[in-house]
Chain A
């Protein structure tokens, strides 16, 4: 850990908040993507079954 002197709180707060925001955005994007992919796969199966019936 580098010596951040009297600005340690300032620098660490900036890094922690930014990394938190980035991780939240990446996590949310991945979760939404996965959820939509599964929902579409289910709907496509249902549509195929519906058109065959």
Chain B
């Protein structure tokens, strides 16, 4: 069986209907356990004090904000190349989810930055590219709303997604090649010197896993809604023709 068969809306609805409850339960469980573990059962950091607990929200949200855009990029490319409607609708469905994760990352980052850096905001390369990514998210959602023809909207938003992916990549790798920024390096790294301490690592990993699953569950749910909305607009168009 080929993956492309799930580009058929009927097959997608069948598969996603079976997968969605499992993913939702797994997402809720991992997020609940990860956040409770991180908040209640991890010690304070010797430098950051209790603010280290914000890592369990900030890092997974930031990671998924960037990965959501990358998922939208892949889905948009599939739409541009193969014209599968489900992929365009999946990209559209991921937009609000990615935007929410981006806002969470920005807000928690600012709240953490105030006591640690002495400022809510700095025009640091990673922060700035992340802010531009947020604006791209707003633009992406606005474009879907503004263009009436759904195929034209899918074309235009796909191109916007392609351009915005530069900032998604920049916000991930900016710290590696612009050293003048305030933002520290990656929390999860192969380098033991940079890597977050072991005591924070497992709950953080669980929270990241929870955010990934939450993203998947919400995208599946919202894609199903978009497919139904498309079917509804077809039925309404048919009714208009019948009544004319």
Cα of A14 to Cα of B225 in the assembled complex, Å = 31
Q: Give the chain B neighbours of A24 by CB distance below 8 A.
A: 100
Q: How far is the CA of A30 from the CA of B218 in the complex (A)?
A: 9
CB–CB B57/A50 < 8 A: no
- A11–B239 touching, CB < 8 Å: no
Q: In the complex the two chains form, what is the Cα distance from A31 to B139 in whole Å?
A: 24
Chain A: residues with Cβ within 8 Å of the partner, total of 33
B218-235 Cβ-contact flags toward A at 8 Å (1 or 0): 100110110011011001
In the complex, the answer to whether B51 meets A21 with C-beta atoms within 8 Å is: no
Alpha-carbon separation in the docked complex, A5 to B96 (Å)? 35
How far does the alpha carbon of A25 sit from the alpha carbon of B222 in the complex, in Å? 11
Q: A13-B111, A46-B239 are in contact. Are A2 and B40 (CB under 8 A)?
A: yes
| A28-51 near B? 1/0 per residue, CB < 8 Å | 111011001101100110110010
Residue contact A43 to B232, C-beta cutoff 8 Å: yes
Q: Does B97 contact A (CB under 8 A)?
A: yes
- With a cutoff of 8 Å between Cβ atoms, the chain B residues found around residue A17 in the complex are 104, 107-108, 111
Cα A30 to Cα B62 with chains together (Å): 24
Chain B residues in 8 Å Cβ range of A46:
235, 239
How far, in angstroms, from A52 to B54 measured CA to CA in the complex? 60
Given contacts A2-B40, A8-B50, A21-B100, contact A33 B111 (CB under 8 A): no
What is the size, in residues, of chain B's interface with A at 8 Å between Cβ atoms? 38
Give the interface SS of chain A, mostly helix, strand, loop or mixed: helix
Residues A21 and B104 in contact in the complex (CB < 8 Å), given A29-B221, A33-B221: yes
Rounded to whole Å, the gap between the CB of A9 and the closest CB of chain B is: 9
In the assembled complex, the CB of B243 is this many whole angstroms from the nearest CB of chain A, namely: 9
Q: Are A14 and B111 in contact (CB under 8 A)?
A: yes
Known pairs A2-B39, A21-B103; A14 contacts B235 (CB<8 A): no
Q: Is B29 an interface residue when CB atoms closer than 8 A count as contact?
A: no
Shortest CB-to-CB span from A10 to chain B, Å, is 6
The reply to whether B115 and A36 form a contact with Cβ atoms under 8 Å apart is no
**In whole angstroms, what is the CA distance A32 to B225 when docked?**
7
Closest residue of chain A to B233, judged by CB? A43
Given contacts A7-B115, A13-B111, A21-B100, contact A40 B231 (CB under 8 A): yes
Besides A3-B50, A36-B228, 14 more A-B contacts (Cβ < 8 Å) are A5-B44, A10-B50, A14-B112, A21-B100, A22-B214, A24-B100, A26-B218, A29-B225, A30-B221, A32-B222, A33-B222, A33-B224, A39-B232, A47-B239
B residues whose Cβ falls under 8 Å from a Cβ of A: 35, 39-40, 44, 49-51, 53-54, 57-58, 61, 96-97, 100, 103-104, 107-108, 111-112, 114-115, 214, 218, 221-222, 224-225, 228-229, 231-232, 235-236, 238-239, 242
List of 10 A-B pairs having minimum Cβ-Cβ separation, nearest first? A4-B50, A7-B50, A33-B225, A43-B235, A18-B57, A36-B228, A14-B108, A25-B100, A14-B111, A14-B54
